[in-house]
Structure 1
């Protein structure tokens, strides 16, 4: 088994609301007023700008709407470095793979199993190391996929920073995300560029510290495609360096045994 490392850990800040991890399918399917996007409990409503909140609502609607986001059960994607994962938003189950290493874990109970070439290594130091890192892995990797759906999450302060241009010259509104007492790195800051014509996030910049003047990276957020009821973006290019998330899928049902498989599974479509 290759030594395990967590990579790239550049954006591990989000605390996903427990509503996304728990609750029955019936609770998930409760409909909201059309066009509404209720903030998560703990969202900094008082410290956030009304204009920024209104733009966040437009982003949610452009990507499918709040009900489509909440009612989508499974999300799957490949992350940089060869990690493939499937997240059950209803139960909190998380199936994660890297090469011949496989983990089946529950984000609520923080319990699971790790397999190397189909053999259970959960009780070994290497297996325990993987289990200890799976929640941070999920936080980081899922944020790279679904950040635009998390603009009004717990602990987030959302402010409007004015108008600007994306790397590709599109007119954009600039939102700033900062965090209070949440996540594994709450000192982070993000700038989110929302295309004024499409209401879609087209670029983001990551600042390791909220006081940093220059970002650690600035990347495109593009190449959108419909997955189930959601519009999700695969492109994460830097200015001159192509990069993307692959094997993106959204589903309501998956083949039996996928979330408990001891070996790598066929990629969801």
Structure 2
């Protein structure tokens, strides 16, 4: 299954991931002056709805180490705009604070501009803006599903303690390079559109970075539908993101930006990233 880039690109919408992203709002402390506090602030608090009781302490501890190795929760919350290509077929622009998303199909003229929270937006297809309510609703919902899928291929390591997730320690295993890894299993309950899925992530014991992941269409399967590398990390001001992976799959041409023109999410006109990097 999914043995070629072409297969994954044409079926990516069938593998819509189960996550409701909880970090799409601007960090509460982003415009707040620093003041002394007697409160102890947890470094990587779980999202509301994370299954703490069903998860185990060892897995949660490793997830926190992953967040730290990736640059830390504070850096993740401060990250504002993410831009990337997905398998050479789509380009996505995501305002992580406000939930605005722009999706450009790179092999035709389709563009979807939407807000993932209220599903308001507009669509350009076949040379014109769609106006029929049913067609517009169809493509806006499709756009959200595309964003759920494509963004997870980019930011999964930051989502180990998301709403609806149960996180457990599975086993110790060996990576392809011979290094030892801790394997965490993620299962889901009453969240998203495919809660029957399961994922395994392979965390390098030395640097605490995820180096491999496995997808199970159904949690009770004995074998994975795919096992793929999660490598070639790049630092963006200390925040690590994995793109241009060794299997030529997933996100490429990744950007983390402090600003994007507001028209990126309101106009179908092209966005010139060269002026922003």
TM-score normalized by the length of structure 2: 0.85
Distance of aligned partners of 1:127 and 1:257 in 2 relative to their CA distance in 1, 3 Å threshold:
same
**Contact 2:210–2:230 at 8 Å: present in 1 too?**
yes
- Is residue 2:222 matched to residue 1:216? no
Query: Is the Cα–Cα contact under 8 Å of residues 63 and 232 in structure 1 kept in the other structure?
Result: yes
1:7 — aligned with what? Answer: 12
2:79 matches 1:72: yes
CA deviation after TM superposition for structure 1 residue 21, in Å: 2.6
Question: Which of 99, 107, 118 is the matching residue for 1:92?
Answer: 99
> 1:115 Cα shift?
1.2
- 1:58 aligns to what? 65
- 8 Å contact from structure 2 (residues 19, 192) kept in 1: yes
Report which stretch shifted further, 6-15 or 200-209: 6-15
Distance of 1:7 and 1:263 partners within structure 2: 26
After superposition, what is the alpha-carbon deviation per residue over 1:9-36, rounded to whole angstroms, capped at 9, x for unaligned?
335121212xx233x5554566896881
C-alpha RMSD of matched pairs (Å): 2.4
Rate the CA distance shift 1:79–1:16 in 2: closer, same or farther, 3 A.
same
Could you state the TM-score of these two structures normalised by the residue count of structure 1? 0.87
Match of 2:4 in 1: none
Aligned-partner Cα distance in 1 for 2:157–2:200: 12
Indicate whether 1:245 and 2:245 are aligned. no
Distance in 2 of aligned mates of 1:194 and 1:131: 35
Q: How many Å separate the matches in 1 of 2:100 and 2:133? A: 22
Counterpart of 1:149 in 2: which secondary structure?
helix
1:44 and 2:51 correspond: yes
1:119, distance to aligned residue in structure 2 (A):
2.9
Unaligned runs of at least 5 residues, structure 2: 1-9
Q: How far, CA to CA, are the matches of 1:264 and 1:168 in structure 2?
A: 42
Partner residue in 1 for 2:211: 202
